[in-house]
Structure 1
Amino acid sequence: MGVKMITLWWILPLIILGLVLGFYGRNLLDKAELHQITQDLSTPAGQDVETYDPALVSDLPEAAQRYFNFSLRPGAKLYRNVRLEMHGELGLGDKAQPNYFPFTATQFIVPDRGFTWALRSNSFPMLISGSDMMWDDQSWTRFWLFGNVPVARDGGSDDHFKSAEGRLLVELAAWSPAALLPQNGVAWTQEGPNIARAWLTTSTGRHWVDVHLNQDGQPKAYVIERWSNANAEGQYRPQPFGGTPSTFIDIEGTKIAAQVDVGNHFGTEDYFPFFKASLDKIEFF
């Protein structure tokens, strides 16, 4: 019995150490994969970029024209790619108990490729880091507690990719208006006096994002039907998703949302804004 107990006391710490090292190594690989994607995206913007002219949208429905003429000043360079630094709160709970925790994050949006979003929270005990990503034909959600404990790990499925693509559509409307110009293959319809709908065709089909506007063309909300499993059944299905901007910032003639609240079941009594973010730095390229 004594020998067995001594052996057990040696084996258990080795097993625990092996698990810790294994998780830590997986975390390093996650960071390396993300770095591989974004390492070539920090190039300063070039000079030979088309500029905005309201004539570019003169054939669009009136609400769409209003959106673009608010978002893009005549002569503004039509950069579509954007790098964002942000801070805010993420809710890990539900509407009744949001369980918000603070975060900082860096995001790249490249409309032709997708997005990357690298998060960090140093608020004890929620020492969380990780990333959300949709790039080319892959997507993932990977978050770690203390750098060693996986608290969310998903991706590699058609459902996850389609859901991530929905997030990208909302963020294009909020943070890359030039990407939605008709010259980029985007069609527009008018769904009401103050609702402009952008139609985009991707590898998963034809999708829309609605921009709700005031009379000046300032967005009041961004709304989609997102493919999501954020429901009581945990089943993927289309459901309302969207958010509201509260302030805007003008970067060399491109005006984008500087603060947003976003969540599932937008416009219903179940709406829960689990994502609240304020931009700290914006770079178009």
Structure 2
Amino acid sequence: MWIKWIAIIGVLILVCIGLAILYGGYRWQIDTDKLRAKLASRRRTIEPKIYDPEELEGLPDPVQRYFRTVLTDGQPIVAEVSLSQTGQFNLNEMEDKWNPFTATQLVITQRLGFDWDARIQMAPGLNAFVHDAYLLGEGNLHASLLGLVTVADVHGTPEADQGELMRFFAEAAWYPTALLPSQGVYWEMIDDTSARATLTDGATTVSLVFQFNADGTIATMRAEARHRDKLTAMPWGGRFWEYSVRNEMLIPLESEVGWEYPEGTRLYFKGRITEINYESAL
């Protein structure tokens, strides 16, 4: 008899866990839909609507080569991007412990913002749900186990604002018209293969150094300091590869990102774009 009751209890526990997983996913999706609707509602009219090579005049040589390589004359300016990703995420600061993830992302280029909605597998059947976002000048990181138990909630600090704006800026390699001077980016020459780009949104200004491949594409990006938390700022950077034409633009499908320690770079993100779609300003 006791074996029967143990089996019944076990089944009930599994049912409860399954219901919790379903409810957590449902509630998280509602929050995602609200966030993305708010993001999309803040879209502004973009001018100019078409890339004109004449705006490259006076830019550093490697930057001019980049735009001539990845854009076509008359290329519509990107207004919105939606993409899907797969990859691995390392949540351990001391050693490599990689967890698989899947994610979708919505990006608005004016007024700029994004939402990265990820599922990081912590164990079979146990996912961490993550929103990494930038909206109306405010950075936001929210992580929750199963979409029910919050384990991180950071928003509304200058450090978070800087970090998320920097992420938008770095990922503009996927929507390269956002890096044009007409879209608010200021470029400075460093040498024949690299240049510094600066972007301001509201009260937050960020700068990144982009290094370019011989073919003109972006090889790496780097920030001298990005805040990991309120007290710690560290060099941060990443690299891009496997370029492919999407919507008449040459973009990287593979990327990795990490923090630079004195002993070397510790990667925490390795991702691949599996699908990407664009809406233009036209």
Name the TM-score, length of structure 2 as normaliser: 0.79
Q: 1:70 Cα deviation (Å)?
A: 1.6
CA shift at 1:229, angstroms?
Answer: 2.7
- Superposed displacement of residue 175, structure 1: 1.4
Bigger shift: 132-141 or 189-198? Answer: 132-141
Count residues with an aligned counterpart: 255
Q: Is the partner of 2:264 in helix, strand or coil? A: coil
**Distance change in 2, residues 1:184/1:147 (3 Å):** closer
User: What CA RMSD, in Å, does the superposition of the two structures yield over aligned residues?
Assistant: 3.0
Identity in percent: 25
Deviations 1:130-150 (A, max 9, x none): 311110033321122233332
Query: Where do 1:124-273 residues align within 5 Å?
Result: 124=124, 126-172=126-172, 174-229=173-228, 235-237=231-233, 239-265=234-260, 269-273=263-267
Q: Is the 8 A contact 1:49 1:79 kept in 2?
A: no
Deviation per CA, 1:48-68: give whole Å up to 9, x if none.
983334322122111110111
Aligned residue among 270, 278, 281 for 1:284: 278
Q: Residues 76 and 253 of structure 1 are in contact (CA less than 8 Å); yes or no, is this contact kept in structure 2? A: yes
Any idea what the Cα deviations from partners look like across 1:188-234, whole Å, max 9, x if unmatched? 1111110022121222343212210122211110112343136xxx7
Give distance in 2, aligned partners of 1:161 and 1:242.
17
Letter of the 1:219 partner, please give it.
I
Tell me if structure 2 keeps the 8 A contact 1:211–1:219: yes
Q: Is residue 83 from structure 1 mapped to residue 77 from structure 2 by the alignment?
A: no
- Give the C-alpha shift of residue 25 in structure 1: 8.5
Q: Which of the residues 30, 33, 36 maps onto 1:32? A: 30
1:274 — aligned with what? 268
- Gaps in structure 2 of 5+ consecutive residues: 1-15
Structure 1's unaligned 5+ residue stretches are: 1-16
Structure 1 counterpart of 2:120, one-letter code: S
Amino acid paired to 1:214: N
Task: Render the CA deviation track for 1:226-246: whole Å, top value 9, x for unaligned.
Answer: 43136xxx7233x21111112
Structure 2 residue 104 is the aligned partner of structure 1 residue 106: yes
Residue 113 of structure 1 deviates from its aligned partner by 3.0
**Alpha-carbon separation, structure 2, partners of 1:189 and 1:84:** 30
Paired residues of 2:140 and 2:156 also in contact (CA < 8 A) = yes
Q: Secondary structure at the match of 1:39?
A: helix
State the shift of 1:127 in Å.
Answer: 1.8
- The offset of 1:27, in angstroms, is 7.9
**1: CA distance, partners of 2:24 / 2:136:** 22
SS at match of 1:81: strand
2:241 partner amino acid: S
| Structure 1 residue 109, shift from structure 2 partner | 1.5
